Every structure is written in structure tokens, then in C-alpha cells.
Structure 1
Amino acid sequence: MTSDALRRALTEPGDPPLLPLPGVAAELLLALAAPPRLGAHLRLVHDVAWHLTAAFTERFGAVPFDRQAVLFGSAVHDLGKVEHPAELTGPGSAHEEAGYQLLLRYGVPEERARFAVTHAAWHAPGTQLEDLLVSLADNVWKGRRVTDLEQLVVDRLADITGQQRWQTFLALDDVLADLAAGADRRLAFQADHPLYG
């Protein structure tokens, strides 16, 4: 049975208004009776990913990436916390493989399910730009800046565009600083939703 608290986390407007999750992500959360705080968290990261990818399209227009994959990945990256709720408030990585397996069981293709694992393994060989963008959104939503992750993105973008790395860094830094500025509001929204509902 789905709680009213989860439905509220998935639909409450927020201030400023938050985007809704993609339909598949919201349906999965409801079907799994996810913790309300998880629903709120995924909405926040998805919203940041939307703004991040919009800025990428504007500032790095020559860089090809799958925006819809990033948005989906950001909306489901922590789904495994349904099975490992202690990781909602504490450290742990068991949710990564659990989320990947859950997504596969629910018919999500591997190329989309992978974000459950890659959001925390952005340094692994073969990581794609989309994986890095989900990882960026999953950090900057709360104002956290990860130097190594950002350097990987700068290197990837500079290699594709031919732009100087310092120029690429400055452009990326502007985008991430703007997004990080809303962290307090997002943290408050997440805290307003109970761990269990």
C-alpha cells in the first residue's frame, strides 16, 4: 500500500517548483512503496539534472550526450535504497547493485539500469558522459563539489570541444556554482519528508 507521504513527496510543488519524475520512475517508487524521503531525494536530483543538462546544452552545444538517459538515471539512481533503507541516512553501497537488479526485474533496459551502479562508480573504466552527469547532479543538489569528478568532466568536455581546459573549467564551475546555491532549499525539502511513511 502506498503512503500519502510518498505521494506528497512525488507531487508537492516545492519552492521554487520541482519538476515531476519521469512516469516510469514515479510508478516504480509507488509500486515498491518506497520511503517518502527517497521519493523526495530522487525528485531533487532529477530536478538538478534537468537544470544541469539544460545548461550543458546551452554552454556545450557541440557535445553529444543523451539528455533523456541522464534524466532517467538521476530519477532512479538510488532506487536500491528501497531494499537498503539504512543507506538513506548512513553510508553504504549495497543499494547500488540492489537498484540495478530491481530495475532489470521491472523491465528497465541495462543501458538505463546501469545508473544505479555508475552514479557511485564514476571513476570506473568505460564511464560515459551521461554517468558523470548523473554523478554531478547527485552531488551538487546538496552543494557538494567533488574535484576529481569535476576534473573528469572538464577533461571529457575539453577533449570533445577542443577548448582549453581552463575555459572549460570556468564554464562548468559557473553552472555548478549556480546549482549549488540552491542546496539549502533542497535539503529542507528532503528533510520535510519522513524516512518511513
Structure 2
Amino acid sequence: MTTSSPLLQALHDIGDPPLCPLPVQVAELLESLDSPPRLAAHLRAVHDVAHQLVDWTGQYHPALDFERRAVLFGAATHDVGKTVHIAELSEAGSAHEEAGRALLLAHGVSPQLARFAGTHGSWSAPGIAIEDLLVSLADKIWKNKRVPDLEDLVVTQLAVASGRSAWEEFMALDDLLGRIGDGADQRLAFQSSYPVHGWPS
């Protein structure tokens, strides 16, 4: 019988199928914030999908200049503001976005990396880069939610980088997202297996 807390389990259980671990810095931050276990599980799921997105992007779009580490960090921390606005784990709300950015900045995270906590829900805002779009995409496709306007923005950037037509890029991305989406039920089950609140104090 395990004696580790639900939060530690969410952070370190391998999962079925296996999920990538969060960056050590992020896992330690979530522990220090006494993160809701369900939030940690959600961040694991989205971060794992982000790995699949950046691996594919790097392989098939070598001319696209993007920061892989930034995308992975952004996916791993995008909802960290829900440690403050816990109600937004189970109901719609955007208060966690700026709260998350401020929280990361207060813990010494650079503005370049903290920004994803604020931008993951506003992909049409001015100045949004491919890294922001990939984090937003990971935050949707982990549960097999398709958002055409977001995907169109990604396709546009891919087509510019590759010189291929937008249609070709759409078909390739659509195929990838379909394959990632096929694992949504397992990721949702992983997330829902963890409680919103940890052990009672």
C-alpha cells in the first residue's frame, strides 16, 4: 500500500499509457504550492501531448524556428494559476490565467516562460508566437477538442516555414491531431483518478 500523497502520485505515477514526467522545476513548484492533485495530473497530460506536438513539428518542419523547451515548460505550467483559483478546475473561468503568470514571475520564472500561463486561452491576441499556439493546441487536443481557428493559425505558420500549401499542412496536422486525440479517454481517466483536494489536513 502506498503512503505517498495524492499530489506526489499525480506527479510521479507512470500512467497507462505512460506519460512524460513534468520538468523537475515544475514538479517542485507544484509541491511547494500544495497543488491540487487533479491539477498536477492535468498538467502531466497536457505536457505529454505537447511532447508529441514538438517532436512532430521538429521532425517534419525543420525550417520552423521555435523553442521546444519553452513549449514544454508552457504546457507544464499553463494552468498553475488554478492553485489560486481552485474552482476553475471544475468550472469555466479565466482568472487563473493572469494569476498564473504573476505566480510564476513571483517564483523567479522569466517573463518569456511565464507568459504561457496568460496566453494559453487567447491565441488570437496580437504578438502570439508559434510556441504560444502549440501550448494552446496541446491544451485542447489532450481531450480531443478541435478548435478550427486555433488550428488554422498553426497551419498558417507551418505553411510559411515549409513553403508547402496550407492544404497540405492542414492534412498533415489533422492526421497528427487525430492520432493524439485517440488517446484522450486514457488521459481523461488519468486526470479524473486524482482528487481536486489532497489529503485532509
Question: What band does the TM-score fall into relative to the shorter chain?
Answer: over 0.9
The code of the aligned residue for 1:95 comes to: H
For the Cα contact (< 8 Å) 1:59–1:171, is it kept in 2? no
- In the alignment, what sits opposite 2:72? 71
- In the alignment, what sits opposite 2:138? 137
TM-score, normalised with respect to structure 2: 0.95
- In the alignment, what sits opposite 1:25? 26
1:1-197 alignment, distance < 5 Å: 4-197=5-198
The code of the aligned residue for 1:87 comes to: E
The CA deviation string for residues 61-83 of structure 1, in whole angstroms up to 9 with x for no partner, is 22111000000000000000000
For the Cα contact (< 8 Å) 2:61–2:161, is it kept in 1? no
Same amino acid, percent of matched pairs = 56
Deviation at 1:170, TM superposition (A): 0.7
Deviation at 1:152, TM superposition (A): 0.4
Across the aligned residues of Structure 1 and Structure 2, the Cα RMSD in angstroms comes to 0.8
Deviation at 1:115, TM superposition (A): 0.3
The CA deviation string for residues 96-138 of structure 1, in whole angstroms up to 9 with x for no partner, is 0000000000000000000001101111010000000000000
In the TM superposition, structure 1's runs of 4+ consecutive aligned residues that sit over 2 Å from their partners are none
In 1, Cα distance between equivalents of 2:33 and 2:95 = 17
Deviation at 1:145, TM superposition (A): 0.7
